[in-house]
Amino acid sequence: MPTMIPAYVDGILTPVEKLAVHQRGLKHLAISVFIIADGKILMQRRALSKYHTPGLWANTCCTHPHWDEDMKTAATRRLIDELGITDIKLTQRGTVEYRADVPPNLIEHEVADIFVGFCAVDHSVTPNPDEAMEIRWMSPSEIKSEIAENPDAFTPWLKIYLADHAGQIFNATDFDHS
């Protein structure tokens, strides 16, 4: 059965099949999670089997809530599903709306709730190979530098978050690691 996600059709939130949402560029609900340890963000490189943005670097995890699913529940679910991460308290840091073309012919038009969580750098992380092919911890300055050098290696939404919404997503103390 196809995955149904909350999307706006004629201004009304309606369950719509996930691929159709991206093909039609419908505005839809989403979630992005950033896990931070010792001043670095846990980044994932999306599995090559993903139907869009395969092999690109993204923030810790992203997802869409199921129809009638609480946003924080969805964020916690995907941390477990994608990276095997448990026992992290997530804090909602606001909502970001963006629209981005996703080559070759998809569109992300998301209203994304952003969550941030903290852990120790040795916290258990077990990537699901169907979701993430690689992980690494990167400081914000390392991410920005790599995006400047090789922008095509990163997902459109990560670039938008860091360029346009970093002040809303991150607090001044998030990257203190003394």
* pTM reported for the whole predicted model: 0.96
CA 18, 95, 82, 139 torsion-angle sign: positive
Sole residue written with tokens 């129809």? 67
Instruction: Report residue 164's pLDDT band, with 50, 70 and 90 as the boundaries.
Output: very high
CA-nearest of 95, 90, 103 to 151 is 103
Question: What are 131-151's pLDDT values in tens digits?
Answer: 999 999 999 999 999 999 999
What percent of the chain clears pLDDT 70, i.e. is strictly above it? 99
List of residues 6+ apart from 61 with CB closer than 8 A: 32, 33, 44, 75, 78, 79, 82, 83, 131
Question: What are 49-96's pLDDT values in tens digits?
Answer: 999 999 999 999 999 999 999 999 999 999 999 999 999 999 999 999
Active site residue 142: no
Active site residue 146: no
Of 82, 108, 110, 131, which residue is the catalytic one?
110
Of 61, 62, 108, 131, which residue is the catalytic one?
62
- Residue 127 has a pLDDT of 98
- Residue 37 has a pLDDT of 97
Q: Which domains does the chain have, with CATH numbers?
A: 4-169 (3.90.79.10)
Question: What are 86-128's pLDDT values in tens digits?
Answer: 999 999 999 999 999 998 899 999 999 999 999 999 999 999 9
- Residue 103 has a pLDDT of 86
**pLDDT > 70? residue 30:** yes
